[in-house]
Amino acid sequence: MRHRQNLIELFSTFVQFAGDRFGGWLADPRLERSMKASLQQAATTVRELSEGIWALHWHEHWRKNPTGSAANHLSAYLQESCYWAAYKMINRFTSTPYKLSDCFQIAIADLPKILNRFSAAQGSSLKAYASAAFGTAIRDTLRQRQEADICSDWGLLRKLSQKRFADALSKAGLPNHKVAQYSLAWNCFKTIYVPSKGTATRQLSRPERSTWEAIADLYNRDRLQLEDPGLPCSPEVMEQWLSFCAERARAYLYPSALSLNAPKPGLDEGELQDDLPDPMADAPLSLLIAAEEAEVRDSQRSQINTVLLNQLEQMDTQAQQLLQLYYGDELTQQQIAQELGIKQYAVSRRLSKTREILLLALASWSQQTLHISLSSDVVSNMNDVLEEWLYSYFHNAPPFTKGV
């Protein structure tokens, strides 16, 4: 892949696939004009802004207007991160029927969530954060789709968690009273229809008539607890309801991929990228603030890097080797166990212990330097920062045998 040469390319060009491989950079003329205008305007007040500062600048604009041109500039900027995340995943999940371009689309479709979760205050860069988040999005989606692919309707209903079931119905836009009725029917189904063999859960067959009657009886007895209990239901209605729930769950787990260049909803003409309002009215001030904030965050990143490197140097060779294999080589715990000749549970335990030591070092630095309390949210954010740092460090570090 050819690296993009300047800021205009970074924020206005997109990956073009050719035969499921990188085929070149496709420029968007409107984004090019927008970026050139932004650079000219910024040149009157500040110079030599890095790509990281521009990324923070567009991210700030995206927060104010998520459907404006900032989203497209950020989408362009993160194309390489998305491509390499997809490339690594497609090589890791060798049995998946999906192609590199499919994984790329899966990841880039998650961009709004990634932008929403990104917090520059945590001391990380958008590109590093997105690289880890794209990988997670692809991995989660492939696993969800695998479940949707191989399970029968009844097996899928048995395997769904309460959260996914509720999310699937919520995504379908059902009113609350209907969601409550379907949820009760689903719980009755799970209570009554228990597979006799655990291994047969995925391909669970349609329940017998007697089972549907038992499910309907249980539902009709418990429905009086609902705010809107509705009428008693027959076994046939129970089957119709749960078939509908399985259909919605499958659509939720296996959504159809939508192109970023898809037409605007409800309109015959135009694409999302047509929405290019002028976001540069406050560009000079915004860029100055972004530059100042970036300087503070660079300092924090440097300190975090020092803290974690010092802690890493104190670890024994085996701990460093585990981290290199897991984060640098992206091996699974089972593959690491085979590589080192130990049990998988031992790998899991040692990785957890190693991460815990690094997290404690990071938490201690945060308390002493940033003077923040360690709430559960703060610890969760620190854990994200640590994961991102580990991926970034071990992908760029020399082999562990050369030391850290």
Taking the chain (404 residues) in consecutive chunks of 10 residues, what is each chunk's mean pLDDT?
Answer: 85 87 88 85 64 86 83 92 86 72 88 85 76 84 69 83 85 86 93 71 81 93 89 93 90 62 54 48 56 70 86 89 86 86 89 90 81 70 79 68 39
Q: How far is CA 351 from CA 84, 313, 344, 366, in A?
A: 25, 16, 11, 22
pLDDT, position 288: 60
pLDDT, position 278: 47
pLDDT, position 240: 94
- Listed in sequence order, the residues at least 6 apart from 41 whose beta carbon sits closer than 8 Å to its beta carbon are 280, 283, 284
pLDDT, position 181: 92
Q: How far is CA 134 from CA 30, 115, 283, in A?
A: 26, 11, 29
Burial of 146 (0-12, 13-18, 19+ CB in 10 A): middle
pLDDT, position 394: 83
Which position has the token pair 């009273």? 177
User: What is residue 366's DSSP assignment?
Assistant: I
- Listed in sequence order, the residues at least 6 apart from 328 whose beta carbon sits closer than 8 Å to its beta carbon are 394, 395, 397, 400
Cβ atoms of 285 and 366 closer than 8 Å: no
Specify which residues 66 forms β-bridges with: none
pLDDT, position 366: 80
User: What is residue 216's DSSP assignment?
Assistant: H
Rounded CA-CA distance 162/178 in Å is 16
